[in-house]
Amino acid sequence: MTLASASCGEAGSTTVDDDGPLSTSTVVGGGAVDPPLGWKGSFEATFGSFVLCSTEEGASIRLTEVTFPSGAPDGVTAWVRRVLPDDVAAVAPRNRHRRFTPVAFGLGAPPSFDQPYSSMRPAGDYTDDVSAVTVDESCTQVHRAASALASGDVPTHGYDELMISVPSTHRGADVRGFSISYEADGRSYDVRVPWTMVVCDAKGTRRHCS
């Protein structure tokens, strides 16, 4: 279930509310995930496709933190998924697109997506220590990597995808955007991503849930 489509700029990426070089791949909109059918306990959903890249060739970008607005559920977590060309090369071409392209949203959570109700298992290296993440690829390189993966080819460069895992119960949950703090070439920046992430309640009464 999708609330709105994302808008993208040149090379498939756009920076939101910020004059710095870090770009995410979504501008405004959101997504909604239905709870796992028949599941009685708590669970997690994950929202992604926030692909990170630099709009400036050679910029040195280091993330410092990801923060969420008031009202976000306890335990909401930012992860960064790193996809490397060598990992893609080790997988049969027919499976590369399914395993390595960015994830819109679904049930389950990083790093293993091994929950019984998980609807996806995207491959890659995961970390929840966002302060250890540097963004080295330009948006042009990331755009070319996405094109290669869509064709089942091995990309020349990897990419970093920010993913947000949202814990929930049968009552549902929502996160109304988030902010990324980072440093680039000696300056500090904050970029706000106004992307609404909704985990639907069992009765479908939350806004954007059917």
Query: End-to-end alpha-carbon separation of the chain, Å?
Result: 9
User: What confidence score (pLDDT) does residue 65 get?
Assistant: 98
For residue 189, the model assigns a pLDDT of: 95
Residues in the chain with pLDDT < 50? 1-17
pLDDT for residue 125:
98
Average pLDDT value for the chain = 89
Model confidence pLDDT, tens digit, residues 15-71:
444 689 999 977 678 999 999 998 989 999 999 999 999 999 888 899 999 999 999
Write out the two tokens for 73.
């559920």
- Tokens 């966002």 found at: 130
The alpha carbon dihedral of 36, 115, 100, 12 has a sign of positive
The residues pairing with 124 across neighbouring beta strands, listed in sequence order, are none
